[in-house]
């Protein structure tokens, strides 16, 4: 069993005995932590909210993007507009309707599709799988696939360009916590899969080094009659995730990790009760982005720690400054706290700095940086 030596933090001045609980009167806690909540950390208690700025100049700043406004309709996911990216991950948006008349194969990395809206059928080398809103579809590198939408589909494509997606180590809570691997689904060689096999010409569009090559076959290459192994497409819906929670302590985002990749993680925030202990923090704590860029895609619900954010929008908080709950959310948490967090969001935390692509830059919300200012404070 894993273990660690007992160690005591250094203390100076007025501080709480426990992180995220029972702050000194009139103070605001800020966590300065390393390695995404897993490394050394200190908790500083400030007289003012760490996000109470009145002016902001320069390229480093918090961003909000309205991904609903990105023109991303098309018949090929490999050509979906690029929103955010670095050497480890590429984040794209794709909207489609009807049936793809060709196959695609990504030779650059594994794909993780998050279905924000819509429903349909996925056909791939491994068989047939239905999907709906809220599904993650993990597609291994080199898999040929296509979809037939039964409802208009709006999806987030998270490409892992340096390795495979894996599940997080769940430590003390054991392998069945958060979600049991038994809820994961895989494609089947069912009647629907066999029915789509034909002897008509089909194309596979292959992406490698960001270039697309088209290969034509005189038949449908999805002609598998059987397979065995453990490298396959996997489906997980957020509704099957049972989040960790504590009524006395606000857990860090890492407690909601869903997939782990080289250089980044994907987390899922799902509905849960809010902490009930009187001294426990009831909104996300102020913290620095000291090692990771943080991206949050808002899927559905009431995003209780954010202001003026709606479904289909994205926030991006790069390394270099503190962030946390917006002023209105912080005030409500102290005067009239909610008892239930009814929200679903996908978070991507990246170890390397992210670049903002043209698609995201075109739908940036420039006033987002000012939404953090304390009420009544002007530049």
Give 117-156 pLDDT, tens digit per residue: 999 999 999 999 999 999 999 999 999 999 999 999 999 9
pLDDT confidence of residue 110: 98
The reply, when asked if residue 63 is annotated as ligand binding, is no
Q: Are residues 151 and 175 in the same domain?
A: yes
Token pair, residue 194, equals 């066999």
Query: 11 lies in a domain?
Result: no
Domain limits for position 200: 77-238
pLDDT confidence of residue 285: 87
The residues, any chain, with a CB within 8 Å of residue 126's CB and separated by 6 or more, are 143, 186, 187, 224, 227, 232, 233
Distance CA 254, CA 77 (A): 29
Decide: 271 and 176 in contact? Cβ < 8 Å.
no
Q: Which of 219, 238, 257 is the last residue of a domain?
A: 238
Q: Which of 188, 209, 238 is the last residue of a domain?
A: 238
Binned at pLDDT 50, 70 and 90, residue 374 comes out as low
Decide: 102 and 203 in contact? Cβ < 8 Å.
yes
pLDDT in tens, 18-43: 988 899 999 999 998 888 788 888 99
pLDDT confidence of residue 165: 98
Average pLDDT over residues 309-328: 91
pLDDT confidence of residue 348: 98
Query: 153 lies in a domain?
Result: yes
Query: 69 lies in a domain?
Result: no
Classify 178 in phi/psi space as left (phi over 0), alpha (psi -120 to 50) or beta. Answer: left
Distance CA 16, CA 6 (A): 19
pLDDT confidence of residue 375: 63
The reply, when asked if residue 291 is annotated as ligand binding, is no
pLDDT in tens, 214-250: 999 999 999 999 999 999 999 999 999 999 999 998 8
Q: Are residues 230 and 255 in the same domain?
A: no
Q: Are residues 227 and 258 in the same domain?
A: no
Query: 71 lies in a domain?
Result: no
pLDDT confidence of residue 344: 97
Q: Are residues 259 and 347 in the same domain?
A: yes
The reply, when asked if residue 287 is annotated as ligand binding, is yes
Q: Which helix (H) or strand (E) covers residue 333, if one does?
A: helix 327-335
Query: 23 lies in a domain?
Result: no
**The pTM is what?**
0.94
Q: Are residues 287 and 346 in the same domain?
A: yes
pLDDT confidence of residue 343: 94
Active site residue 317: no
Strands 28-33 and 286-288: parallel
pLDDT confidence of residue 324: 86
pLDDT confidence of residue 373: 78
Q: Are residues 215 and 254 in the same domain?
A: no
pLDDT confidence of residue 325: 86
- Which candidate in 250, 256, 299, 317 is catalytic? 250
pLDDT in tens, 147-189: 999 999 999 999 999 889 999 999 889 999 999 999 999 999 9
Q: Are residues 91 and 209 in the same domain?
A: yes
Query: 9 lies in a domain?
Result: no
Q: Are residues 115 and 226 in the same domain?
A: yes
Token pair, residue 288, equals 């620095």
Binned at pLDDT 50, 70 and 90, residue 304 comes out as low
Longest CA span, the chain: 77
Query: 278 lies in a domain?
Result: yes
Q: Are residues 225 and 299 in the same domain?
A: no
Q: Are residues 231 and 98 in the same domain?
A: yes
Q: Which of 216, 238, 260 is the last residue of a domain?
A: 238
Task: Give the CATH number, domain containing residue 195.
Answer: 2.60.120.10
Please tell me what DSSP assigns to residue 322.
Answer: E
In angstroms, what CA-CA distances link 367 with 22, 61, 203?
33, 11, 45
Q: Are residues 102 and 227 in the same domain?
A: yes
Query: 183 lies in a domain?
Result: yes
Q: Are residues 261 and 162 in the same domain?
A: no
Domain count, the chain: 2
């Amino acid at each position: 069993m894993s273990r660690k030596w007992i160690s005591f933090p250094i203390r100076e001045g007025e501080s709480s005995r426990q992180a995220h609980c029972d702050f000194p009167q009139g103070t605001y806690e800020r966590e300065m932590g390393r390695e995404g909540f897993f490394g050394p950390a200190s908790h500083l208690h400030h007289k003012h909210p760490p996000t109470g700025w009145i002016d902001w100049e320069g390229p480093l700043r918090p961003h909000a993007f309205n991904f609903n406004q990105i023109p991303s309709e098309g018949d090929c996911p490999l050509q979906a507009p690029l929103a955010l990216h670095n050497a480890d991950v590429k984040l794209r948006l794709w909207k489609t309707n009807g049936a793809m008349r060709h196959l695609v194969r990504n030779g650059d990395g594994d794909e993780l599709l998050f279905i924000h809206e819509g429903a349909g059928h996925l056909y791939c080398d491994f068989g047939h799988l239905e999907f709906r809103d809220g599904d993650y579809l993990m597609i291994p590198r080199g898999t040929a696939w296509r979809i037939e939408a039964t409802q208009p589909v709006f999806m987030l494509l998270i490409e892992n360009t340096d390795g495979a997606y894996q599940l997080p180590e769940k430590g003390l809570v054991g392998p069945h916590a958060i979600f049991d691997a038994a809820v994961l689904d895989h494609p089947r060689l069912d009647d629907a899969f066999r029915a789509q096999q034909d002897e008509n010409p089909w194309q596979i569009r292959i992406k490698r080094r960001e270039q697309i090559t088209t290969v034509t076959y005189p038949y449908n290459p999805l002609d598998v009659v059987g397979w065995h192994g453990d490298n396959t497409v996997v489906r997980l819906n957020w509704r099957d995730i049972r989040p960790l929670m504590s009524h006395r302590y606000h857990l860090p985002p890492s407690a909601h990790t869903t997939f782990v990749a080289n250089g980044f993680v994907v987390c899922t925030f799902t509905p849960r009760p809010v902490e009930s202990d009187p001294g426990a923090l009831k909104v996300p704590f102020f913290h620095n982005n000291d090692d990771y860029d943080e991206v949050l895609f808002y899927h559905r619900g009431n995003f209780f720690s954010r202001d003026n954010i709606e479904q289909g929008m994205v926030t991006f908080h790069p390394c270099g400054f503190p962030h946390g709950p917006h002023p209105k959310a912080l005030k409500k948490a102290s005067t009239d706290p909610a008892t239930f967090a009814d929200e679903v969001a996908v978070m991507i935390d990246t170890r390397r700095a992210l670049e903002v692509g043209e698609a995201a830059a075109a739908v940036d919300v420039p006033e987002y940086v000012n939404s953090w200012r304390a009420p009544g404070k002007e530049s």
